[in-house]
Structure 1
Amino acid sequence: MTRPALLMALALSGFAFIAAPGLAQQRDAEQPIEVEADRLDLDDNAGTAVYTGDVEIRQGSMLLTGDRVEMQRNAAGELTRATARGDRAYIEQQPNPDEPVARGWGRTIIYHVAERRVELIDRAELHQGGDTFTGGYLEYFLDRRVVQARAQGEGVEGSQRIRMTLQPER
């Protein structure tokens, strides 16, 4: 493996970041990572990989898109955080084969790997089955399936009221 290929592999290692525990996490983690972008700036010493230009990253049922995606890893080469930015950055993942795909949008999306937490910032939107949440700032805890929402927050332009639509239990 060439040095640039090795560095890119290290920058992407541990990328299965949007899977719920169990089957989906294992299934997604075993899939190849596919990245498309116009540009890559990799800094091995800093542990960062920055993709720009219509970025699309796929692994299993996970998809992350944005105009710019920055991934940070620790000294062991494990992904610690992924940040996507754009007019409508997007993330999706199917927790389990029998569950609907969870979809999220925002001008900024930050995934904190160790905490298994996703922040959707500015014009934030989250769809989970028939339930929807919108507002200035949404925080989604993957393992607990907990959503916290705010009209205002750091990185949010103005105040964006929280709106929620919950479907009745079947």
Structure 2
Amino acid sequence: MKALIPALLLVLPLAAMAQNTSSQSQAPIEVEADRLDLDQRAGTAVYTGDVDIRQGPMQLRGDRVEIQRNDAGELSRAIATGERAYLRHQGEGQDGPMEGWGRRVIYHVAERRVELIDQAELTQNDDRFTGGRLEYFIDREVVQARSDVEGSQTQRIRMTLQPEQ
């Protein structure tokens, strides 16, 4: 039972991934994976094999998902990798969810910033961005795009923005 408690401490802070409203942060966290490798000293949990992590309006999927915590034991980063790693977030008051794909998806918890890297794609409502690297700042609803990705060929930035209704 003692070994289970540190594992839960790595998973439970995923509540920080959802927008901080009482109904969302109180939603259960559901994790599905084929394997879990836990390193308590390093503060990491690595899930592999068709990983699907959900809590309320937040979902993170990948072939591999690594959860990292800081020295205080709080979730600092979640890194999903795979051919089409995926992150979905529906903020309170938003018309539709933000959905992002890439070969690597990094969620920086304290900054509430998402990096989508290599064959990156980001959609919100009918607006769509693609490129080598996209960054999305959740609270400010700001997108930054770049065409270059280290170790890969240039992936030009493309945008489709729908007119206001």
TM range (shorter): over 0.9
Higher relative contact order (CA 8 A, sep 6+): 1
Structure 2: 5+ residue runs without aligned partners?
Answer: none
Q: Distance in 2 between matches of 1:144 and 1:98?
A: 12
SS at match of 1:13: helix
Q: Is the 8 A contact 1:82 1:110 kept in 2?
A: yes
Q: Is the 8 A contact 1:73 1:81 kept in 2?
A: yes
Q: Distance in 1 between matches of 2:68 and 2:122?
A: 24
Paired amino acid for 1:166: L
Q: Distance in 2 between matches of 1:152 and 1:10?
A: 36
2:156 corresponding residue in structure 1: 161
1:124-135 matched pairs, under 5 angstroms: 124-135=120-131
Among 33, 36, 40, the alignment partner of 1:37 is 33
2:143 corresponding residue in structure 1: 147
Query: Relative to structure 2, which stretch is displaced further, 30-39 or 83-92?
Result: 30-39
SS at match of 2:45: strand
Alpha-carbon displacement from aligned partner over 1:107-140 (angstroms, at most 9, x marks no partner): 0000111111000000000000110000010000
Paired amino acid for 1:90: Y
TM-score by length of 1: 0.91
Q: CA RMSD in A?
A: 1.4
- State the aligned residue count: 165
Same amino acid, percent of matched pairs: 61
Paired amino acid for 2:111: E
Structure 1 residues 17 and 125 mapped into 2: Cα distance closer, same or farther (>3 Å)?
Answer: farther
Shift of 1:18: 3.8
Q: Distance in 1 between matches of 2:144 and 2:160?
A: 14
1:5 corresponding residue in structure 2: 4
Residue 68 in 1 paired to residue 64 in 2?
yes
Q: Is the 8 A contact 2:66 2:79 kept in 1?
A: yes
Query: Relative to structure 2, which stretch is displaced further, 82-91 or 95-104?
Result: 95-104
Runs of 4+ in 1 over 2 A off after TM superposition: 16-20
SS at match of 1:27: helix
SS at match of 1:8: helix
